[in-house]
Chains A and B, each alone.
Chain A
C-alpha cells in the first residue's frame, strides 16, 4: 500500500523527536501568550515557556481536561482571533452542554493530511470512490473523512448516515471502493447486503471504521460480510477528529500522527508517565494545531504504545485499541454518553429529587441498545397508566434531546435496582467490547 507522506510517516525516530521538540517549544510559547488558562496553570507551576526546551520537558507541563472545554465554552481556549477560525465542530460534554472545537485553515489542511494518510494506508488513491456514511454536521466524523478523501483526490460519495437501502444501492450503482462509517453500522450494512443478495455486485475493497469501540471478532465478521479489509481509525474532537491515529495493512495497532500529536501514557491516578509499553491513560499534546491547541490533554482512554518498527515501514508509534476508560464515559452508537447527563434529565423530571436509576447498555443485532430503568417514586406515580406513560415519554424525549440517542425507559418498583454496599450500581455494560 502506498504511503501518502513517506518523508514524514517513515521519518527516523531521532528526527521525529527533533521535529516534535521544535514544534512543542513553538506551541508552548504561543499558548502561553494567547491562552489565559494555560498561562495560569504554567504560572501556578512556576514554569515559563523558556523552561520547555524539548520533548524531554513534556512531563513538566500541566495537564488539560475535558472540563476545561466546558468552563471556557465556547471559544475561551482558542489561541487565535475568531477571524482566523474557519470551522467549528462540537460533541457532547459531560453534563449536557456540548463542547466546541475550532480549526484554522491550516488546521483543516493538516487534518485532511491525517485522514489522507489513513485512506492511503488502506490502498486508496485518486482512483478510489470513497463513500462516507458517517454523519455530516457538527460531529467530526463526516467532514473529517470527507476532507481526507478530497485531499487524496478520490471521488467522494458523501451519503452521510442513515437510510440503509439507499446506502447499499449507492454503493452498488456508484461503485464505492472504500467505506467510512462506524463499525456497528458497517455490520448492519453487511447484514442488509446479505439479505439483499448483492455482495457480488460490490466493488468495495476497504473500510475505515471508528468513533466507537469494536472487537477483533467484529472485524472478522465485517471483513467477511463486506468482502473487504477493515481498518481501525482513532480520533477525538478535542484533539482533531478522526485520523489522530490510523491503522496500516499490518492491522497491528494504529500509527499516531506524531508530527502533529505527541502521545504519552500516564497512571490516571498519580499522573506519572508510565514506562514504555505499559498500559495507562492516553494523553495527547497537539504541537501543530493553531486554532484550538491542547497540552497534555487527558483522553481518559486506556491503552498502550508500541515503539517497535512496523513492517509497513512507518516509524510512527502505534497505539493499541483502547481497552477501557479511566472515567465513566460510555460510547453508545458512536455517541459519547456520561451517566451524569442522564442523571440530570431525571433530576428535572423528579422535581429536584433524583430517582434511583440504572443504565443498561447492550448490543442487539450489532447495534447498541440503551435501557434506562428508573425506580418509581411518589412524585412520579399516578393512579392512571396514561400519566405514568407520559412521564416515561418525557424522560425518553429529554434523553433524546440531550444525547441525540433513543433510549428505552422503564419504570420499576422501588428498591429493585441492584445496590452494591449501599451504593446503586449505575451502569451495566453487557457488550464485552474489550
Chain B
C-alpha cells in the first residue's frame, strides 16, 4: 500500500520548524516519521502522519506550501545485510531510491523505512513479489 507523505517548504529562519509542528499538534495530528532535507536557504520537511489529508488542509489554511506525494513503507529485518538485499532487488528492477528515512517504532523484529522511488507503484509490486513486507500508516500504530 502506498503511503501519503506530506512535504512542507521551510524557509531557513529560526522558529519555522516549530511553527509547523505546533500547527499539527494543535490539530491532533500524530507524526510517526519525519526527515529534513536542507540547503543554505531553505529546507524540505517530509512527514508521515496519521491523517495526511487533514494535515495538508490545516497547513494550507496557514498559507504554508504543502505537497502530498506517494512513498512506500518497507519493513526490513533488523540484521546486517538486510537493507542491502532490498536495495539490490530494486536496482535489479531499474528502480532508484530518491531518498529514504527511518520511522519511529517497529513491527516485530523489523525496522521501518520510508522510501521514495522513481516509480512507487512498481516498487511496491516488485517488493511484494519478492516477499519483502511493506507497511502502511495504520500498521505503525499497531505497534
A413 touches B116 (CB 8 A): no
Contact A385 B65 (CB under 8 A): no
Contacts of B69 in A (CB 8 A): 383
A416 is an interface residue with CB less than 8 A from chain B: yes
A-B contact pairs, 11 of them (CB 8 A): A378-B65, A381-B7, A383-B69, A383-B116, A384-B37, A410-B42, A411-B9, A413-B9, A413-B42, A414-B63, A414-B64
Is the Cβ of A385 less than 8 Å from the Cβ of B67? no
A383-B65 in contact (CB<8A): no
B44 in complex: contacting residue of A377, A385, A410, CB < 8 Å? A385
Q: State which size class the interface on B falls in.
A: 20 to 34
Per-residue contact bits, chain B 5-42, to A (CB 8 Å; 1 contact, 0 not)? 10101110000100000000000000000000111011
Task: State A413–B15 Cα separation when bound (angstroms).
Answer: 13
Q: Which residues of B contact A415 (CB under 8 A)?
A: 63
Q: A413 to B65, alpha carbons, bound, how many Å?
A: 8
B39 surroundings in chain A (CB, below 8 A): 385, 389
Q: In whole angstroms, what is the CA distance A333 to B32 when docked?
A: 51
Interface check B141, CB cutoff 8 A: no
Could you tell me if B7 and A416 are in contact, using CB atoms closer than 8 angstroms?
Answer: no
Contact with B along A374-387 (1 / 0, CB 8 A): 00111001111110
Interface pair A376/B65, CB less than 8 Å apart: yes
Does A388 sit at the interface, judged by CB under 8 A?
A: yes
The reply to whether A384 and B99 form a contact with Cβ atoms under 8 Å apart is yes
A385 touches B37 (CB 8 A): yes
Give chain B's interface residues, CB within 8 Å of chain A.
Answer: 5, 7, 9-11, 16, 37-39, 41-42, 44, 46, 63-67, 69, 98-99, 116
Contact status of A377 and B65, CB under 8 A, knowing A384-B99, A384-B116, A413-B9: yes
Residues A385-415 near B (CB distance < 8 A):
385-386, 388-389, 410-415
With A and B bound together, what is the CA distance between A416 and B10 in angstroms? 12
Check B9 against A384 for contact (C-beta < 8 Å).
Answer: no
Query: Which residues of chain B are near A383, meaning CB under 8 Å?
Result: 5, 7, 44, 46, 67, 69, 116
CA distance A384 to B37 in the complex (A): 8
Contacts of A389 in B (CB 8 A): 39
Q: Is A376's CB under 8 angstroms from B9's CB? A: yes
Q: How far is the CA of A385 from the CA of B46 in the complex (A)?
A: 11
Residue in B42, B63, B116 with the greatest tally of chain A CB atoms within 10 Å = B42
A383 to B116 Cα, complex, angstroms: 10
B128 to chain A, nearest CB (A): 24
Q: Is the CB of A388 within 8 A of B11?
A: no
Query: Residues of B contacting A376 with CB < 8 Å?
Result: 9, 42, 65
CB contact under 8 A between A412 and B44, given known A383-B67, A389-B39: no
Give the docked Cα–Cα distance between A389 and B69 (Å).
Answer: 18
Whether A384 lies near B11 (C-beta < 8 A) is: no
Which one of A378, A381, A411, A414 lies within 8 Å of B41 (CB-CB)? Answer: A411
Residues of A within 8 A of B5 (CB): 383
Residue of B nearest to A416 (CB): B11
Q: Are A413 and B11 in contact (CB-based, < 8 A)?
A: yes
Most chain B Cβ neighbours within 10 Å, of A377, A381, A415: A381
- Once the chains bind, are B65 and A384 in contact (CB under 8 Å)? no
In the assembled complex, the CB of B86 is this many whole angstroms from the nearest CB of chain A, namely 20
Q: A378 contacts which of B10, B16, B67, B116 (Cβ < 8 Å)?
A: B67
A381-B67 Cα distance, complex, nearest whole Å: 7
Beyond A378-B67, A384-B116, A411-B9: 19 further Cβ-contacts under 8 Å? A376-B9, A376-B42, A377-B65, A378-B66, A381-B66, A382-B7, A383-B5, A383-B69, A383-B116, A384-B99, A385-B39, A385-B44, A388-B44, A412-B11, A412-B42, A413-B9, A413-B11, A413-B42, A416-B11
